[in-house]
Structure 1
Amino acid sequence: MQAHPFQQTVSADAEIVIVGGGLVGASLAIALDLMGRPAVLVEASAPRPDTQPSHDDRNLALSRTTVNGLRRLGVWEHAAAFAEPIREVHVSRAGSFGSLRIEAQRAGVEALGWTLPARALGRALLQRLEACRQLRRQAPARLVAAAPVSGGWRLELQTAEGLQTCLTPLLVGADGTASMVRDRLGIGAIRHDYGQTLFVATVASERPHQGRAWERFRETGPVAVLPLPDGRCGVVLTVPGEEAETLAELDDGAFIQRVQDDFGWWLGRLSQPGRRHGYPIASCAAGRLTGERAVLVGNAAQTVHPVGAQGFNLGLRDALTLAEMVGEAADPGLESLLQAYALRRESDRAATMQSSDRLIRLVCHAPAWTGPLHSLGLLLIDRLDGLHQAVARQGMGFRPGLPLSQMELRE
């Protein structure tokens, strides 16, 4: 990386710059602040939950290890009142006889995870950001130029006060699927359009959910129902892209009937649908996680199919692993350090992306004759304790290389 003659060398202890103030970027900023590492958080929107694009109407299924991490960050105390524990996950395939129940009690824990509205998590992160001491926030602001200099990057930010310049030894791209940082680094990405649209809404149910979550696979795509703390349920309905416009225009009665047809009668009659929102589904995988004195996290690094609700869980593991590795480093942008980060994240990242993709291809789009095989597989996992425990731990987020901040809290 060649420095221009008029540009100074960046000090290794200068502020880390995080571009992107969404759920993952904010979590990383808080984690670095806890470690005493100065950082700048560049947020495209003003710091209000109603203006942050990632603080939308989705209901997030947070794994157990994700909540462990949010507790360590001091975020969960602001969010817990809006969360509902998931005590059981029921997995089935339409037209097949087998099903799988993953139970918290059988796994030896009080909850496998928690359901939390994205807006509630966004508010909690904003509250926690206000208490950060080493963090400098630029909001609203956007990155308009990035030039390599000796020991780091020279960045130009467009802010409400005008153009501002900053130097950083490490540039972090946490700016989402259409990452400007990734483009500036010249890192390509592999994109796949699933030809599906995901609709989210809330509904009332005739029978209480009792902390159960459902994932039901159909040829047209999965439908998930998540427990919410007010007794309502969050619905995640996936439909072929060509049906999206029609579904968006349905009245409430017709929409709830479509959900009932796809989900079934596990909760009795569904009613009172809330606002619905549609999101086209596509995956995006960066060709690599790092550039010279730069790194990608969250959706900038990988955007996965929402089946299994792994997006934020995976992104938080990125953020907390990066903070753990660079937070106390003498020089956070060293090539060897960033390569070690990429290596540590490789297996989790690849396994999560592949499992999400394969699940859609093998379960939703599989030939009819494979139904009995899928049923048998679900039954085996359900009946064999060893397999059940392994699947439960995977669902709770436990895996090799997990950041220490996401391990189980010990009383």
Structure 2
Amino acid sequence: MPLEDRLGLPLSTSAHEAASSYREGVDLMLAGWTGTAEALERAIAIDPDFALAHIARARVHAFYQQGDLARQKAAVARKLVARRGTERERSHVETLALAIEGRLPEAIAAMREHVEAWPRDAVVLSLPLGAFGLFAFSGMADHDRARHELCERVAQHYGEDWWFLTMYGWAMTENGDVARGRGVTERGFNLRRANAHAAHAVLHAMFEDGSIEAADRLVDDWIPGYDRAGILHGHIRWHQALGALEQGDAARALSIYADVLQPSVTQAPPLNVVTDGASLLWRLLAYGHAVPDALWRDADAAAQKLFPKSGLPFADVHMALFAAATQNHEALAARLAVIEQRLAEGKLPAGPVVPAICRALLAFADEDYAACVQVLAPVLTDVVRIGGSHAQRELIEDTYIVALMRSGELPRARGLLEARLHRRPSLRDRRWQAAMG
């Protein structure tokens, strides 16, 4: 009888220890927990021809932007699975390899076919889910709905699986079904508390329903059991910093930044290093709080090393935050030139919203608030196309609202705030309303 993964899919290895280590590694990966790489390396050491262990290890390399290692492992997995692998495993390896190579349209097509045939292959199903998944970074404007619909289609195959409930609930939350999403995510979280993705998804629901104090308590209670090397450790504290800003406590937000987010201390993957740091510092700046210049300079220097060239729109927008805040017009102009060229060549699926955001951020930093409003207004509904979560993208809308207020367009600012408050309770938005009278 063949060995199986946790969800009952056959594995092409005869080594019980390799299968066990692979199952452990996959569960840790799906939970965003430490020990993932070590478990997968054990599986490879026990059975060097086990293709699924190699491709899973490649995916972990990709999380940390270790592109060469990820592609090397993916190439090995392709060769191994061709010699010893089932049809499902060959499709599994190829789909993950396409994603690792950045071939998003092909990876999405392969993922859809694979999930249709093998809906319980959680590793492949995980590819399009989440704020940094294939759907979010595809440039599509409806990626929140697409994730929700995909989860709806396969829900019958998972039942009360802790991982699936986590991602299913978060997809509901991001697609606007916040109360139901929070309940489903909390069910998954309660099934496995050692699950950073579940804690993270619950925090997103709490952000959307205004449970700021409850979110703060959740982080305080849960984070001591999560190693600082955990892939989401810094980002979960970033959520706590957002809560502090919501309550007007800039000092606490800066303290969290100093503790876990600044480049000299963080152990987060490169994309989170750049996006969490830039977005938190920018929010402080936009909300009228002082940010020491040294924090911007140090964070910008680290970001330039991690993302020296234009590529991923979500990263490009956050790099524009650094360039605008540090008045590095030259760096932003160089990045914009590449973005505009890709747009002209039809190679920027997210579209014109990307360069528009970059220009608007620079105008805001230059205190040309009318220009910021003028550039952002036509593309505001397309901000979703850059990817990320609603909590992350709200930074752009916040910038727009502040620019409206500072340029004297109070009726438009009031209207937008009123609409937002119907969607999400916000102490900050209430304060802004009160300030405008």
| TM-score in terms of structure 1 length | 0.26
Q: TM-score, normalised by structure 2?
A: 0.24
Structure with more relative contact order (C-alpha pairs < 8 Å, separation 6 or more)? 1
